[in-house]
Amino acid sequence: DKHGYLWLASTNTGLMQYDGYVFQQHPLLNTTLTKLKSVPDIDAIVFDQHNNLWAGSWGYGLAKIHAETGDIELFDSESTVLASPFVQKLFIDKQQRVWIGTTKGINRYDNSVGFSRVDHITDNLPSRRIWDFAQTPDNAIWIATSAGLLLATTSGLALSKAYLSFSLPCSVFSG
């Protein structure tokens, strides 16, 4: 982060902060959820321009740790802002928007408008499971799904048709 701490996301220890000497575990769940599962699987972390830490979990949604106060804002399975509480990928674009890839679609957070759903049932998304995002120098956002690649429009509120669609299972290893 901007203060020199190293942050680690883990599937068996949750969110960890390292100051160069000691690892410190950071709880992201409320008391009720902690009783059900002591450590959430954290699959993705990213810092925004305000040094707030966003952490995506497997089944417990998204957490935002505010840099100034340390307060945790949880967008969980009871929240309607996420396509799914199973967050696989977080990405900050050049416009400082947070893209959230889940197992059931795409959300985006913009400081001026809050959360929005990027994909819709009638769009061209080849699969609802999102694996990655990338931004090109012309600010286009490429989205990798389980079944193909597509491009978000400049505004990011519409999706192109799939550029590459995987219709058959494939393997990078042959033999």
Residue keyed to tokens 């120098």: 137
Region 134-157: what's the mean pLDDT? 81
pTM, 2 dp: 0.77
pLDDT one-digit tens code per residue, 16-52 = 777 778 877 766 554 444 445 555 678 888 989 998 8
pLDDT of residue 171: 45
Among residues 46, 66, 44, 47, which one has the least CA distance to residue 2?
47
Q: What is the pLDDT of residues 53-112, one digit of tens each?
A: 898 888 888 888 887 787 888 887 666 789 999 999 999 999 999 999 999 989 999 989
